[in-house]
Amino acid sequence: MGGRILCVAEKPSIARAVAQHLGGQVQARNVPGIQWVKNYEFNYTFPPWGACTVIFTSVAGHLHTIDFDTRYRSWNSCQPGQLFDAPVVTSIDDDKKAIARNIETQARGARTLFIWTDCDREGEHIGTEIRDVALKSNPRLEVCRARFSNIERAHVVNAARNPVPLDERQANAVAARIELDLRIGAAFTRMQTLQLRPMVEQMLESKVISYGSCQFPTLGFVVDRYFRVKNFVPEQFWHIRVMHRKDDIDVTFNWKRGHLFDRMAVTIIFERCIMARTAKVVKMQKKPTSKWKPLPLTTVELQKMGSRFLRMDSQRVMKIAEELYTKGWISYPRTETDQFDRGMDLRKLVEKQCPDGQWGPYAQGLMNGGFNQPRQGRNNDKAHPPIHPVNHVAASHLRDDEERRVYEFIVRRFLACCSEDARGEATDVEIQYGTEIFRTHGLLVLQRNYLDVYPYDKWVSSQQLPNFTLGETFEPTEAKMLDGKTTAPGFLTEPELIALMDANGIGTDATMAEHIAKIKERAYVMTRPRGRATGGGTGLQEFIPTTLGVALIEGYDNVGFETSLGKPFLRKEMELLMKAICAGTTTRNDVVHQSLEQYREVFVRTTRQINVLKEVIIPKIHSPSGPARLNASHLTNLEQLEGYTSLLLHDTLHDSSALDPAARVGRAGRSSERADPVALCAIRGAGFGGPSVANPARHVLDRRTRADAGTEHLRRGLRHFSACVSSARSPPQFGTEETREGFRVTFWCGDGAGHDVRSSGD
């Protein structure tokens, strides 16, 4: 048959890599009007079509954009509620018109359009956009797509030999989501902005108070945890601990009940234990135990583990993973699958890692008989395997330390999956002391196995327990009645937020990081390293909502919806409908209609009760006199305050005693943080920004004035801060010191009780 085949990839890097696999040293031709897209021409024999001339090119993501008809694009052109029904038009982005012209030109002489977009929902939709553009110039084109999950040569060749149809259902699901996001987002954003901006515009750098159906539930999780922390009231409890020394080993037995909140009851129980004098061993058990190796890696797990262990936010982790994929080093990084197909040659992938200087010897050990099949998870998206390395790359060939850390994590995770579980021996001893049961647990790690290559899991031997025999009696060396206090939960961390989004169906594995980035970009939340408020710091980021973020969620909750916009239920239902489109049990039009009616009802009620929303926001935004008081836990990095208005919470955390470093450890050894309040004002263009003396080459761009300023400007900004501290009993002081990043600012003030309250920012 022969003829001309037009192949189109989603990204220029994929087009180049696949063309080289299929055509060898192919010649690249420039595309008029666009620099980074090339046309690669070569010959290749496809089983369905025979020997063909191939033109391999690419797009750069979506070609099409949808927007309202020009009559509705101006914010004052209509009432926001009309956007639920306003006509929308599809057009080609201005910056993509040269790409579209190239596809039209190349399609004219082609017999087949062979689409090589990513194999997920978004890729299917981009594939339909490419098809629609190509059919304009050649309506007789045959259209098919390649099914692939990485760009390793053998995998690419197999995909080229086995074309499949486009999945129209997945494309329709994306089309429905795009239309719903436009209509719902635009209607609520215009309404919120027009109604609320006059009250908060002096605090906003952005002129828009945006709404998104994934954005708000994500913010809702952060606000919900914030209120759990703020409203937490410590409660005292009591418990009993028994100690015994045997064979020169001190053993601690913990109360099986844990603890009780009734002091009198614990006192009576404790006295009965003391009166009994002797304890009896009622259980002595030694048994083999295991620590299971990890499941194969999914996108959600990569984001959670990346933000926990790699010191990067989830959006950065995914960007690097995408780059590793396009370079041909790992498989497609957007997958829900946590089980490898039994037909995959995993040993071959392990063998590729043997030359590595760090984990190569471990990989060689797997090849020499240590290989075990990975665990089978419960999820399979039927599109992509779990994330895994497809080629070995030396650390010197990786771009930077971040790329090295992500690649290393993926390789170590894969090797751990192909290893044996860690093995150990667990010892459990229970004693009866009086009428109560106390127990202790010991662990002896015998074989580390996968732990030798996977440092992200911890499993270590405990102190060795002495030998006890069943029925043995002894008089405990010591028994104590102790007290403690319950402790507040921490603010939400990124791994916890991702887990909540995943469990509640907010976004997809491919979009969760984008939604988190969006609420930070909109200044609805701020982040700081966990432990910053108490002088520590783990590198794990925690989220703290701003005034505006809290006010919006509280406002919508107070409107009295059966399902608040700050809760995940509406968006979760929408995502289930998208899956139903993919399964063929409903249609795009039905889903769009059903979802719009649900959100329209919420919109109408919000509009009618807009004063309820305003009544919540006004007292939070406007403090009665000067700056508001804040808990030390609410101070964020000063780098987030450079040159723009802080949107920190302007209400007072009433439980200011919950953060005192001096009382961090209670009598029971449990964390009980407390700190004194410190006043903070928003520094608005008062001098933050510009090159620092510590590093003159580094310029901090002032977002408001874009003016360069020196350290004196910084000092003026801090003097402005000092002048506004109304709650301080002594004049605030400040200082700067050089750091690797530029400089660190520290400010402190006395609280009238002999304590200094400090906070620092880079």
User: Which residue in 214, 289, 287, 279 sits closest to 243, CA to CA?
Assistant: 279
Cα separation of 671 and 662, whole Å? Answer: 11
- The tokens describing 186, both together, are 């635009």
Residues pairing with 389 in the sheet:
330
Other CB atoms within 10 A of residue 670 CB: 17
Residues pairing with 526 in the sheet:
544
Q: What single string gives the DSSP state of each residue in 55-74?
A: EEEE--S--EEEEE-GGG-S
**Residues whose CB is less than 8 angstroms from the CB of residue 230 and which lie 6 or more positions away in sequence, other chains included:** 653, 654, 655
Q: Is 332 tagged catalytic?
A: yes
Is 75:34 a contact under the CB 8 Å cutoff? no
Q: Which of 40, 325, 332, 556 is catalytic?
A: 332
Is 176:578 a contact under the CB 8 Å cutoff? yes
Q: What single string gives the DSSP state of each residue in 438-469?
A: EEEEEEEEEE-GGGGT-TTS-----PPPPP--
**Residues whose CB is less than 8 angstroms from the CB of residue 66 and which lie 6 or more positions away in sequence, other chains included:** 88, 89, 90, 91, 178, 179, 182
80 φ, ψ (degrees, to nearest 5): -55, -35
User: Which residue in 75, 181, 175, 86 sits closest to 125, CA to CA?
Assistant: 175
User: What are the percentages of helix, strand and coil residues in the chain, rounded to 5?
Assistant: 40, 20, 40
Q: Say if strands 436-447 and 112-116 run parallel, antiparallel, or are unpaired.
A: unpaired
Other CB atoms within 10 A of residue 431 CB: 25
44 φ, ψ (degrees, to nearest 5): -155, 145
Q: Say if strands 436-447 and 249-255 run parallel, antiparallel, or are unpaired.
A: antiparallel
Cα separation of 346 and 412, whole Å? Answer: 14
Residues designated catalytic: 332
